[in-house]
Structure 1
Amino acid sequence: MGRREFSEEFKREAAGLVLEHGYTVTKAAKAMGIGESALRRWIGNRRPVGGASVSAVESDNPEQFRIRELEKRVMELERERDILKKFHSLFRQGIGSRYEVIQQAEKAFPTEVVCRVVEVPRSSYYAWKARQRQENAARVGLVREVQAIHAQMRQSYGSRRMSKEMRRRGYAVGRERARRLMREGGVQAQTRRTHRYVKREQSAAIAENRLDRKFAVTVPNRFWAGDVTYISTQQGWMYLAVVLDLYSRRVVGWATSGSCDTFLVIRALQLALEIRRPDPGLMFHSDQGSNYASLAFQQFLSERAIVQSMSRKGNCWDNAVVERFFCSLKGECTGERAYRDHAEARADVLDYILKFYNPHRLHSAANHMPPAEFEEVKKVAV
């Protein structure tokens, strides 16, 4: 295998992760699939004299930490209030256990007297209290873990993914229990606005729908899909083009611009090709957008022996994988945020893709693993 050659656009993109977006050299090199020494060389060629250190120091936001601590405290107080209300009801109605009655009564009377009246050995009552403390501590720990996951995963996990993530972290939590813990912790997945699409069946004029919704792919770098979306900023629309590998649902290429043109989608696909280095026979699927139907894009694919596939006209379900990614991006990242300019929006989107979606976000199509981890596990298995 010969020495890999990289374009200047690829080098700028890789170096920009460190110089402009605060990535460490190690993280940036891993995200781009290159060696650290090469990346350091590219950075050195682009850094002004007296520039800042390559490594970025991540610091916690004190205000966010304080808010999280206050939220935990509020949850604890609400939980204590609910428990007291429940015990009072049981004591008043006479339907609670003897231990619960004792626990209520000892607030007003000595424990020794209450235990004698209800004919319960004090040792048994204290043992019950010890077990209750252990169980309560375990439950509080689980609730806090659920709250931590909720914050780390951008408030995107429902009970199904929450239970999967809890089991990945060593907790035996099923979906129903995860739902109860989420309810107790006061967390729920963010709701997203949905868009109703009109389904049509016209065939593409440029390329047939060769993919034909066969999204269950068993090998990497054979079937890719791409699309373009827009993100609002005070500077104007920023357009984002992405390329996903249907095998793992990993975002393997991306590009942003203030113009939604053919050059934008070519840049995204070129970056993916340089990162992944696929073997001949790759199929690329997209909608019938003018940038994908242009002669320049068709020539780009032809020169690299890439087979083109297109969705039927007006049928978004033929490219559902990329549409679903955009739904996650806007629901978990961009949402209703008011970005100052393209640079701020681009930095946020890259953080979402490279620091969250690819390495951490569980995906059902990847055996409930993050896309990057799914590829590593499969690579080791082979």
Structure 2
Amino acid sequence: MESKKKRTPAYTAEFRERGVRLFRERRPDYTSDNAAYRAIAPKLGCSHDTLRAWCIQAARDAGERDGLTSEQKARLKALEREVKELRTANEILKKASAYFCPGGARPPVPQMIAFIEKHRGVFGVEPICRVLQIAPATFHRHAAIARNPQLASDRTRQDAVDIEKIKAVHGKSRGRYGARKIWHQLRRDEHDIARCTVERLMRLHGLQGVVRGQKKTTIPDPAQPCPDDKVNRQFVAAMPDQLWVSDFTYVSTWAGMVYVAFIIDVFARKIVGWRVSTSMTTGFVLDALNQAICQRCPTGGGLIHHSDRGSQYLSIRYTERLADAGIDTSVGSVGDSYDNALAESVIGLFKTEVINFLGPWKSMAQVEWETLQWVSRYNNERLHSAIGHRPPQEVEDTFYEQMNTLEKAA
């Protein structure tokens, strides 16, 4: 097996803005811009060249430096892509207008498949399907069956027989019969078919019976259900990106309350995402999650995200982001601190080593800077008793080295 290639992180806008802000705030502490880049970038988890590019672009966006702003670049790139797609679509439509019959009606699927087959070498299957509004999978399936009818499954062949009988009964009723009555009629005609099959085929072909008028009532949306507890207080993982735990805490400052969120990978107890904010909203914990997803790039499924029953973690935006990334959700079943003990432990360590040790605190910026330095040290230098008195980063590096060695040996 080949070794896994390291993916380039896709940093979020919030993460880039944070890096630029930290550089500007801490620039006086260093002798040069380059020195500041090289000192701050590793703590953020990016290269110094990346941080430099962010800072230069931020200066352009603020009008402090000549060059295209981020908005102008994005707009230019979008326009170039749009022009390219429009030119391709225009060429496809020109050829399609000469190929299909006039009249404006949607061409039959076999005719569209023949057109795609003829021009796929020039435009590609997906661009043509996008213009003709046909799924690429439909083309591939029909084309394969057209080349070899034996490839059609038994179900597909039976569906072709069943739909003709369904259409006959539906037409005989002048469109009045729904699935239930059509199913009963087919049984009377001694055609053995399941009712769910009738419903599926009618839905697939856009057939339906008449529906009686019903009085509409207002139905309130049910409360979003709480995910199951898939951890059950067993905070153990056999490899990185198998189980993440998350929680946040608060810090009292002279300027008001500040909140700090963490996401920890259970395997090596490594902090993979964090965020400092003055507001305790869903966006606050979502930023920490986005940082973790962008830097870790979890793939292949199997990753569980565990949290307590806080409203931020049960919000629709947060759960949808987890779903988009293919991450399974888990929430403590009882709701006490033991259900999220590992995250509570890390937060307790953070409050002991940073908040209580270095306080009192004047502002959020001060808390954020010290949190940045502590997370960097925690991940790369601090020895952790639960993982054999080694830093989390070292434990992960050792794991991947062993995996690569086993893969090469295999």
State the Cα distance separating 1:27 from its structure 2 match. 4.7
State the Cα deviation string for residues 58-100 of structure 1 (Å, max 9, x = none).
xxxxxxxxxxxxxxxxxxxxxxxxxxxxxxxxxxxxxxxxxxx
State the Cα distance separating 1:250 from its structure 2 match. 0.9
Structure 2 CA distance for partners of 1:29 and 1:379, relative to 1, 3 Å: farther
State the Cα distance separating 1:17 from its structure 2 match. 4.0
Verify the 8 A CA contact 1:280 1:306 in the aligned structure 2. Answer: no
Q: Which amino acid aligns with 1:7?
A: T
Verify the 8 A CA contact 2:262 2:274 in the aligned structure 1. Answer: yes
Tell me, what secondary structure is at the counterpart of 1:290?
A: coil
Partner of residue 309, structure 2: 288
Q: Which amino acid aligns with 1:15?
A: V
State the Cα deviation string for residues 179-227 of structure 1 (Å, max 9, x = none).
xxxxxxxxxxxxxxxxxxxxxxxxx951111122232212111211100
Q: Which amino acid aligns with 2:363?
A: D
Q: Which amino acid aligns with 1:19?
A: R
**In structure 1, distance between residues paired with 2:345 and 2:318:** 24
Runs (5+) with no aligned partner, structure 1: 51-203
Question: Which residue among 47, 53, 65 is the counterpart of 1:41?
Answer: 53
1:321 equivalent in alignment to 2:333: no
1:257 equivalent in alignment to 2:277: yes
Alignment TM-score, normalising by the size of structure 1: 0.55
State the Cα distance separating 1:4 from its structure 2 match. 5.2
Question: Which residue among 235, 243, 256 is the counterpart of 1:223?
Answer: 243
Q: Which amino acid aligns with 2:333?
A: R
**In structure 1, distance between residues paired with 2:230 and 2:253:** 36
Question: Which residue among 260, 263, 273 is the counterpart of 1:243?
Answer: 263
Partner of residue 20, structure 1: 25
Partner of residue 167, structure 2: none
1:10 equivalent in alignment to 2:22: no
Question: Which residue among 359, 375, 392 is the counterpart of 1:353?
Answer: 375
Partner of residue 309, structure 1: 330
Verify the 8 A CA contact 1:334 1:349 in the aligned structure 2. Answer: no
Question: Which residue among 250, 267, 270 is the counterpart of 2:287?
Answer: 267
Partner of residue 362, structure 2: 340
Q: Percent identity?
A: 30
Runs (5+) with no aligned partner, structure 2: 28-34, 66-223, 404-410
State the Cα deviation string for residues 15-66 of structure 1 (Å, max 9, x = none).
344333468434544344433322221122235869xxxxxxxxxxxxxxxx
Q: How many residues align?
A: 228
**In structure 1, distance between residues paired with 2:380 and 2:261:** 20
Tell me, what secondary structure is at the counterpart of 1:237?
A: strand
If you compute each CA radius of gyration, which structure gives the higher value, 1 or 2? 2
State the Cα distance separating 1:231 from its structure 2 match. 0.5
Structure 2 CA distance for partners of 1:318 and 1:335, relative to 1, 3 Å: same
Verify the 8 A CA contact 2:380 2:392 in the aligned structure 1. Answer: yes
Tell me, what secondary structure is at the counterpart of 2:240?
A: coil
Verify the 8 A CA contact 2:11 2:291 in the aligned structure 1. Answer: no
State the Cα deviation string for residues 323-364 of structure 1 (Å, max 9, x = none).
01111111111116111111112212222112x211221112
Partner of residue 398, structure 2: 377
Tell me, what secondary structure is at the counterpart of 1:331?
A: helix
Partner of residue 233, structure 2: 213
**In structure 2, distance between residues paired with 1:376 and 1:17:** 28
State the Cα distance separating 1:234 from its structure 2 match. 0.8
Verify the 8 A CA contact 1:288 1:313 in the aligned structure 2. Answer: no
Deviates more, 1:371-380 or 1:233-242: 371-380
State the Cα deviation string for residues 260-312 of structure 1 (Å, max 9, x = none).
11111101000111111111422110000011111221222222221100012
Verify the 8 A CA contact 2:237 2:266 in the aligned structure 1. Answer: yes
Matches within 5 A, 1:195-206: 205-206=225-226
Q: Which amino acid aligns with 2:286?
A: I
**In structure 2, distance between residues paired with 1:350 and 1:6:** 17
Note the aligned Cα RMSD (angstroms): 2.4
Matches within 5 A, 1:151-230: 205-230=225-250
Question: Which residue among 42, 45, 48 is the counterpart of 1:30?
Answer: 42
**In structure 2, distance between residues paired with 1:249 and 1:3:** 23
Q: Which amino acid aligns with 1:377?
A: T
Matches within 5 A, 1:44-193: 44-47=56-59
Alignment TM-score, normalising by the size of structure 2: 0.51
Structure 2 CA distance for partners of 1:338 and 1:33, relative to 1, 3 Å: closer
